[in-house]
């Protein structure tokens, strides 16, 4: 079982960024995928969850309207797009798996550093 | 959706026990038996240590134990070892979302 994320990104304030998370070693539709971020020296922050079976997404209130999760079931890949970036969005972004309704996360992707800087 | 409250740091000598608290509300910790704990060493990916308040995944030593009372969950590490030095985060299901704790640094003296 593996979640492999795309590489580091450097982008400017106001722009958008897309991070991918490719799943392998299990049936993609049997598990939810969550996105969690961690700003430098800070704690973990839950962002959103994607249910591939129902094509359903829950977003943390803070990110509603600015965050979009999509999937490509043919490649078992999840995409996280965050818009209107600001410096405070500089963080490591992780995807993590949840067996449907188990309410815990594991395994995690390796993380993707997104740097927002002018 | 405020973060759950954890102490910033706790410390103990090898062999001692330490307990990390995680305080939320009746809408998260108190309302669901769905609290999990994650260990994170510097520069590493978080690792699941406890789920469903008290359950340990296979491979996690039984020195790690979870509990809950009301709106506060706790993680106790018994027989503290050098490799336990890390950051620890609680996480609770809260309806349609999840909330993490503020994180606790465990130092082995």
Tens of pLDDT along A68-93?
A: 999 999 999 999 999 999 999 999 99
Q: A28 vs A18, A49, A73, A89, B2, CA distance in Å?
A: 20, 14, 7, 28, 31
Q: Do B51 and A103 touch (CB under 8 A)?
A: yes
Peptide bond into B58 cis (omega under 30): no
Tell me if chain A has a CB within 8 Å of the CB of B102.
yes
Q: Minimal Cα distance from B92: which residue of A?
A: A103
Determine the pLDDT at residue A101.
87
Determine the pLDDT at residue B65.
98
**Is the pLDDT higher at A80 or at B1?**
A80
Banded model confidence at residue A53, pLDDT cuts 50, 70, 90:
confident
The pLDDT of residue B1 is above 80: no
Q: What angle do CA A114, B1, B5 make, to 5 degrees?
A: 90
Q: Tell me: the pLDDT tens digits for B3-45?
A: 999 999 999 999 999 999 999 999 999 999 999 999 999 999 9
Tell me if chain B has a CB within 8 Å of the CB of A111.
yes
Cα separation, A115 vs B67, in Å, equals 38
The pLDDT of residue B73 is above 80: yes
Sign of the torsion angle spanned by Cα atoms B23, A51, A24, B58: positive
Q: Tell me: the pLDDT tens digits for A37-50?
A: 999 999 999 999 99
Tell me if chain A has a CB within 8 Å of the CB of B2.
no
Tell me if chain B has a CB within 8 Å of the CB of A109.
yes
Q: A98 vs A29, A33, B86, B91, B102, CA distance in Å?
A: 11, 6, 23, 13, 21
The pLDDT of residue A23 is above 90: yes
Q: Which of A46, A58, A108 is the closest to B100 by Cβ?
A: A46
Banded model confidence at residue A55, pLDDT cuts 50, 70, 90:
confident
Q: Which of A36, A103, A110 is the closest to B34 by Cβ?
A: A103
The pLDDT of residue B87 is above 90: yes
Cα separation, B60 vs A69, in Å, equals 32
Which residue in A103, A107, A109 has the most chain B C-beta atoms within 10 A of its own C-beta, making it the best mutation to test that interface? A103
């Amino acid at each position: 079982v593996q979640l492999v994320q795309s590489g580091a990104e450097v982008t400017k304030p106001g722009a958008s960024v897309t991070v991918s998370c490719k799943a392998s070693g299990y049936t993609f539709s049997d598990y939810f995928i969550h996105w969690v971020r961690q700003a430098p020296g800070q704690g973990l922050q839950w962002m959103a969850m994607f249910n591939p079976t129902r094509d359903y997404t829950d977003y943390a209130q803070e990110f509603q309207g600015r965050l979009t999760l999509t999937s490509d079931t043919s490649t078992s890949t999840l995409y996280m797009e965050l818009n209107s970036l600001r410096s405070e969005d500089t963080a490591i972004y992780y995807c993590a798996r949840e067996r449907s309704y188990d309410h815990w996360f594991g395994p995690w992707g390796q993380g993707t550093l997104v740097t927002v800087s002018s | 959706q405020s973060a759950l409250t954890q102490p910033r740091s706790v410390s103990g000598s090898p062999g001692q026990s330490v307990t990390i608290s995680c305080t939320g509300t009746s809408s998260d910790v108190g309302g669901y038996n769905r609290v999990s704990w994650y260990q994170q060493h510097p520069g590493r990916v978080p690792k699941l240590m406890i789920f469903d308040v008290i359950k340990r995944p296979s491979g996690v030593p039984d020195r790690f134990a979870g509990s809950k009372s009301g709106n506060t969950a706790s993680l106790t590490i018994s027989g503290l070892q050098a490799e336990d030095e890390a950051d620890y985060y609680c996480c609770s299901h809260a309806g349609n979302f999840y909330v993490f704790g503020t994180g606790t640094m465990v130092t082995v003296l």
